[in-house]
Structure 1
Amino acid sequence: MEIVSYAPQGGDRPPEGRPLGPVVPTGAAPRLDWVDTAKGICIVLVVMMHATLGVEAAMGREGFMHWAVAFSKPFRMPDFFLLSGLFLSRVIDRPWRVYADKRVLHFAYFYVLWLVIQSAVKFSQVSDGTIVGFLQHLAVSMVEPFSTLWFVYLLAVFSVVTKLLRPVPGLVVLAAAALLQMAPIETGYLLIDEFCERWVFFLAGYLFADRIFRLAEFARTHVAASLAGLGIWAVINGGLAFTPASFLGATTLAELPGISLLLGLAGAAAIVVIGVLLTRARVAEPLRYAGSKSIAIYLTFFLPMAFTRLLLTRYEVISDPGIVAAIVTLVAVLFPLLCERLVRGTRFGFLYERPSWARLTPKTGQEPPLSPPAEQPKIDLSRALRSHRGEAAA
Structure 2
Amino acid sequence: MSAPECAMPQSQRIDWVDYAKGISIILVVMMHSTLSTEDALGHAGWLHGVVEFARPFRIPAFFMIAGLFVAHTIDRDWRTFLDRKVLHFVYFYVLWLIIQFAFRAPFLVADHGALGALQAFLTAFIDPYGTLWFIYLLPVFFLATRLTRSIPPVIVFLVAAALEIAPIDTHWTLIDEFASRFVYFYSGYLFSVYILRGAAWSRSHMALVLAGLAAWFLANLWLVHAGLSTDYGISLALGFAGAAAVVAISVLLARSHLLEGLRYCGQNSIVIYLAFFLPMVITRIALAKTHVITDPGTAAALVTTMAVVTPLILHWMVRGTMFKFLFERPARFHLVPAKPKKTTLLPAE
TM over 0.5, shorter chain = yes
Q: CA deviation at 1:29?
A: 5.7
Give the match's secondary structure for 1:168. coil
CA contact (8 A) 1:40 1:291 kept: yes
Q: CA deviation at 1:133?
A: 4.8
- Tell me the residue number matched to 1:20: 4
* Alpha-carbon distance between aligned partners in 1 of 2:13 and 2:195, rounded to the nearest angstrom: 16
Percent identity of paired positions between Structure 1 and Structure 2 = 49
Indicate which of 347, 358, 363 corresponds to 2:322: 347
The total of aligned residue pairs comes to: 341
- Tell me the residue number matched to 2:133: 150
Q: How does 1:382-393 map to 2 (within 5 A)?
A: none
Indicate which of 273, 292, 304 corresponds to 2:279: 304
Given the superposition, is the C-alpha separation of residues 366 and 352 from structure 1 closer, same or farther in structure 2, using an over 3 Å criterion?
closer
Residue 166 (1) aligns with residue 141 (2): no
Give the match's secondary structure for 1:354. coil
- Tell me the residue number matched to 1:317: 292
- Tell me the residue number matched to 2:309: 334
CA deviations over 1:166-218 (Å, ceiling 9, x no partner): 11011000000000000011111111111101110000100000111011111
Task: Name the amino acid aligned to 1:339.
Answer: L
Q: CA deviation at 1:30?
A: 7.3
- Tell me the residue number matched to 1:186: 169
CA contact (8 A) 2:7 2:69 kept: no
CA contact (8 A) 2:7 2:192 kept: no
Q: How does 1:220-235 map to 2 (within 5 A)?
A: 220-235=203-218
Q: How does 1:171-320 map to 2 (within 5 A)?
A: 171-243=154-226, 252-320=227-295
* Alpha-carbon distance between aligned partners in 2 of 1:330 and 1:24, rounded to the nearest angstrom: 32
Q: CA deviation at 1:23?
A: 3.6
- Tell me the residue number matched to 1:380: none
Q: CA deviation at 1:134?
A: 4.5
CA contact (8 A) 2:8 2:196 kept: no
**Higher helix proportion (structure 1 or 2):** 2
Task: Name the amino acid aligned to 2:293.
Answer: I
Q: CA deviation at 1:364?
A: 2.9
Given the superposition, is the C-alpha separation of residues 211 and 262 from structure 1 closer, same or farther in structure 2, using an over 3 Å criterion?
same
Task: Name the amino acid aligned to 1:340.
Answer: H
TM-score (norm 2): 0.93
CA contact (8 A) 2:109 2:116 kept: yes
Task: Name the amino acid aligned to 1:203.
Answer: Y
- Tell me the residue number matched to 1:119: 101
Residue 64 (1) aligns with residue 16 (2): no
* Alpha-carbon distance between aligned partners in 2 of 1:241 and 1:318, rounded to the nearest angstrom: 29
* Alpha-carbon distance between aligned partners in 1 of 2:185 and 2:5, rounded to the nearest angstrom: 13
* Alpha-carbon distance between aligned partners in 1 of 2:11 and 2:17, rounded to the nearest angstrom: 14
Task: Name the amino acid aligned to 2:185.
Answer: F
* Alpha-carbon distance between aligned partners in 1 of 2:71 and 2:197, rounded to the nearest angstrom: 16
Given the superposition, is the C-alpha separation of residues 62 and 131 from structure 1 closer, same or farther in structure 2, using an over 3 Å criterion?
closer
RMSD: 1.9
* Alpha-carbon distance between aligned partners in 2 of 1:174 and 1:31, rounded to the nearest angstrom: 25
Unaligned runs of 5+ in 2: 343-349
208-217 vs 30-39, which moves further: 30-39
200-209 vs 127-136, which moves further: 127-136
* Alpha-carbon distance between aligned partners in 1 of 2:24 and 2:284, rounded to the nearest angstrom: 21
Given the superposition, is the C-alpha separation of residues 29 and 139 from structure 1 closer, same or farther in structure 2, using an over 3 Å criterion?
same
46-55 vs 125-134, which moves further: 125-134
CA deviations over 1:60-113 (Å, ceiling 9, x no partner): 111110010000000010000001100001111111111111111111111111
* Alpha-carbon distance between aligned partners in 2 of 1:119 and 1:21, rounded to the nearest angstrom: 42
TM-score (norm 1): 0.83
- Tell me the residue number matched to 1:43: 25
Indicate which of 84, 89, 95 corresponds to 2:71: 89
Give the match's secondary structure for 2:136. helix
Task: Name the amino acid aligned to 1:116.
Answer: I
* Alpha-carbon distance between aligned partners in 2 of 1:63 and 1:29, rounded to the nearest angstrom: 41
Q: CA deviation at 1:231?
A: 0.4
* Alpha-carbon distance between aligned partners in 2 of 1:175 and 1:130, rounded to the nearest angstrom: 45
- Tell me the residue number matched to 2:347: none
Q: CA deviation at 1:365?
A: 2.8
Q: CA deviation at 1:22?
A: 3.9
Unaligned runs of 5+ in 1: 1-17, 244-251, 368-394
* Alpha-carbon distance between aligned partners in 1 of 2:155 and 2:265, rounded to the nearest angstrom: 36
Task: Name the amino acid aligned to 2:258.
Answer: V
Give the match's secondary structure for 1:254. coil
Q: CA deviation at 1:140?
A: 1.1
132-141 vs 90-99, which moves further: 132-141
Indicate which of 319, 326, 331 corresponds to 1:356: 331
Q: CA deviation at 1:313?
A: 1.8
CA contact (8 A) 1:103 1:156 kept: yes
